[in-house]
Copies of this chain bind each other. A is one copy, B any other.
């Protein structure tokens, strides 16, 4: 189960090894997004994404003898980088299974942390991870469907409440649902009036669709600029939490994801990866359930984007 207490305990474990990233007020975006804009800048986190929090909490919660066998993780990149960082800290071997399509900045970042990288087709990454686990005895570090991972990600929520208590809505990118499960649990426990809004690519709207269906739908593989949000099915442990605690899920089209990244960079002067600027895209698209007076905190989940990706904007 995931509780506020788990998340508070996770904070004790991970705080010494992560940055308390800033909440930054971006006045320059208020008019464009039609609300009072702040960001929680996890693009400025160590490893440049929030994923480090969950990975650290997971590894710091595992028995030593299991850790010493090594760990393996399937990832689009950011979770892998978090696991690689945590493994390096604990001096244990890590293997990260990435899709062939992962941006080179993510692949290189993981290798630079000393982890072994295996690349494969997107759809095969979980099978290959299991095979490696069986062959070598590696412990699988799941990117989202795990309570320790969710508790780690939830520490972002605790920080937002401390740094920016006047927030009235938090907008959170959704892939498998690890981040939003953690943040929603923390925030709704302590400040239930704050709206929690999930944003996902319209081409892989697994959460919006599954919530309507009332069950975890498995979608077909799609391409999206939001390379970190391509998970095809809500996590088993994440889905009921999202059902219970999340106020709204908004689908964001590809053009708006790109505009979100561009607007955050050119008007906001902050660089984030497309998957992380998707909330800004949702606001530009005009269908976020917020009003002009809302103090909206956009959770900018990561910043692993290379100059080569900027050149395509």
Give A contacts to B, CB under 8 Å. Answer: 19, 21-22, 24-28, 41, 43-44, 46, 48, 265-266, 268-272, 303, 307, 310-311, 313
Contact = CB atoms under 8 A, between A and B. Distances in A.
A6 B44 CA distance: 37
B310 A269 contact: no
Among A26, A28, A269, residue most surrounded by chain B Cβ atoms (within 10 Å): A269
A191 B40 CA distance: 31
Query: Which of A22, A41, A44 gathers most chain B CB within 10 Å?
Result: A44
Contact of A44 (B19, B21, B268): B268
A268 B19 CA distance: 13
A313 B303 contact: no
A25 B41 CA distance: 11
A19 B24 contact: no
A39 to B, nearest CB: 10
A71 to B, nearest CB: 25
Contact of A307 (B28, B48, B310): B310
Report whether over half of chain A's contact residues are helix, strand or loop; otherwise say mixed. mixed
A41 B268 CA distance: 11
Contacts of A265: 271
Nearest to A23: B22
A41 B307 contact: no
Contacts of A27: 19, 21, 44, 46
A24 B20 CA distance: 12
B24 A22 contact: yes
A43 B303 CA distance: 19
Contact of A313 (B22, B41, B48, B307): B307
A102 B173 CA distance: 38
A120 B27 CA distance: 34
A46 B28 contact: yes
A27 B28 CA distance: 23
A260 to B, nearest CB: 15
7 contacts: A22-B22, A24-B24, A28-B44, A48-B269, A269-B271, A270-B271, A307-B310
Contacts of A272: 269
Nearest to A313: B307
